Amino acid sequence: MPTNTAPPRPDVPPPATAHDVAGHRVPDSGQWMSATAGRIAPSGTAWLEAVYWFYKYGPGPDSSHGPKRVGTTTLRMARAIAHLTECRPSVANLIQWLKLSKRTVQYHLGMLRETGLLTYRSRGTRVGGTGGRASEFERTIPQIYDDAAGLRTGPSDTLIRSVRGVRPEKIPLLKELHAAARHRQPKKRAKRANRPTVRAASKTSSCTPMVGSTSSFSTAGDISPPSESKLGDGNHQSPAPQKPTLRKLNAIGRRYQLAAELIQQVGWLGRAAVPRIAWIVRHAADAGWSVTEVIALVGLVAPARRVHRPSGFLASRLKGAHLLYDTPAKRASLVNGWRDSRPAELDRHTDWWQDDFRRPSSQNVAREVQEAFTQLQQPSVPTAEERELSIGHDGLVDLDQLTRDEVIELRAAAHKDPVLVRTTIHACGELYARRLFTSALVDQFQRLTSLGRTVVHPWRPV
């Protein structure tokens, strides 16, 4: 990676009266959109200006572990995050892009959160087997930067706060930060191979400048037109594209193909190994049998309700069958007779090869099964949650009928899913929702709605 990704840090820090401020660290409870004191960055460049201010003049998060100040590695990570359309920087992606270790990426992400430059919209998940989902952030600008840069802000519906003015004496600082944020890091030039490239020599010189020629003259020089006797009549047709040729299977391939089709279509062969079944059906596959003909032969006499050894059962049915049905006409009559037989009809309407329910041999297990069936057959008694609630004159359920535990449960569900608050407001009115979920929760929902997002991490008190 290039080393000049950021402007050099001054050897002698500026005096405390110029730009420096006291220590600053955002607690864990303030790193969420519902509790942040910062404002949403209007663009990636504006956010990078705040990052560069923390790099040159701002204080570090003063954490107990990891780096103590915003450094060049943090700037590299911030430049990668600033270009994301959806600010969901996966740790794995940052490791691949920046060539850093996992612990380093986690440390610098934590520093951006503790300085107030990144704020959680939703927390990532770790789902075993299917992969996790990365945390989603919002690029925010803390109040400490606005005060140091002389920016006057006011309320905004989409950005929490927006810039309304700037102090004139801070304009040089803003220009410096803007130039640093727009600085592009140089691209690393790829090394060329030391060995010379070999160009294929063409038999005739080409008149197209994009194609190489063995002539010593430039291809862009004088090019003599061809003779009129060599010109075409204009009726030449391009050759038809060749159709791709399908690869033909040999004898071994046909055996494996027939075995795979049998395992897929016959239920009691589901756990059999393809190579073993291919060896069993080798004579039938070499004679040109199809999977339907093999199934017809096996299904002429219905097997037992349970097949203990599927491969042995199939081998006994196919023994000598390729000698008995040695012509396609005989095999066609075999298939027609099987389709009209009674076992084939049962196979089409019932699951013939599956094991049906057997009574448990243990008396204790049989007694428990009988009790379970008896309990299922009894009519269910309505519980307290299924009781009927009376409706008032306004057509709404009287909230006085709800118990204290039910109200607590409803409010906890609204904390996890703010959509429940919106549905209650639309159906029953805002006053009813405030009485049920408290005014604080309804105000928080309305604030999140103005930001354009209603599904967030559960609310946490500051």
State which amino acid sits at residue 237. Q
Distances 300 to 42, 55, 327 between C-alpha atoms, Å:
76, 83, 18
Query: Is pTM, for the whole model, over 0.85?
Result: no
> Each residue of 287-342: pLDDT tens digit?
989 988 888 888 776 555 567 788 888 888 888 888 888 888 888 888 888 777 65
The type of residue at 400 is D
Same structural domain, 345 and 396: no
Alpha carbons 302 and 310: distance in angstroms, whole number: 14
On whether both 281 and 160 belong to a single domain, the answer is no
Query: In 353-458, which ranges are continuous DSSP H helix?
Result: 363-377, 404-416, 419-428, 430-437, 439-450
Average of per-residue pLDDT values in the chain: 75
129: left (phi over 0), alpha (psi -120 to 50) or beta: left
In a domain, residue 319? The reply is: yes
Does residue 41 sit in the same domain as residue 150? yes
CA distances to 264, 302, 336, 341 from 345, rounded to whole Å, are 20, 11, 13, 7
Last residue of a domain, one of 181, 196, 218: 181
**What pLDDT, in 10s, does the model give residues 128-182?**
555 567 888 999 999 999 999 999 999 988 888 999 999 999 999 999 999 988 8
Q: Are residues 281 and 342 in the same domain?
A: yes
pLDDT at 434: 85
Determine, yes or no, domain membership for 276: yes
Let me know whether 170 and 41 are in one domain.
yes
For residue 397, give the 3-state DSSP assignment. strand
Same domain, 297 and 427: no
Q: What is the reported pLDDT for 168? A: 92
Q: Which amino acid is at 156?
A: S
For residues 289 and 416, state if they share a domain. no
Residues 42 and 171 in one domain: yes
Inter-residue contact 269 to 294 (CB < 8 Å): no
**Residue 423 φ then ψ, to 5°:** -65, -40
One domain for residues 307 and 401: no
The verdict on residue 148 lying in a domain is: yes
CA distance 154 to 248: 75
What residue type is assigned to position 84 of the chain?
L
What integer pLDDT is reported at residue 458 of this predicted model? 47
Give per-residue pLDDT as tens, 393-417: 666 777 777 888 888 888 888 888 8
Residue ending a domain, among 294, 317, 349, is 349
Q: Which of 133, 164, 181 is the last residue of a domain?
A: 181
Q: Same domain for 114 and 255?
A: no
Residue 54 lies in a domain: yes
Let me know if residue 317 belongs to a domain.
Answer: yes
Tokens standing for residue 392? 């008032």
pLDDT attached to residue 362: 72
Report the Cα–Cα distance between both ends of the chain, in Å, rounded: 40
Structure confidence by residue, pLDDT tens digits, 284-300 = 999 989 988 888 888 77
pLDDT at 51: 93
Number of domains comprising the chain: 3
- Domain range for residue 414? 390-450
Q: How far is C-alpha 453 from the chain's CA centre?
A: 20
How far, CA to CA in Å, does 418 sit from each of 34, 414, 451? 12, 5, 13
Q: Kindly indicate the confidence band of residue 217, based on its pLDDT and cuts at 50, 70 and 90.
A: very low
Q: Are residues 327 and 401 in the same domain?
A: no
Residue 173 in domain:
yes
Length of the chain: 462
Residue 85 has pLDDT above 70, yes or no: yes
375 inside domain: no
Question: Tokens for 237?
Answer: 């047709």
Bridge partners for 153 per DSSP: 163
**pLDDT in the model for residue 401:** 76
Supply the pLDDT for residue 185: 56
408 assigned to some structural domain: yes
Looking at the structure, tell me whether residues 394 and 309 fall in a common domain. no
102: amino acid identity, one letter = K
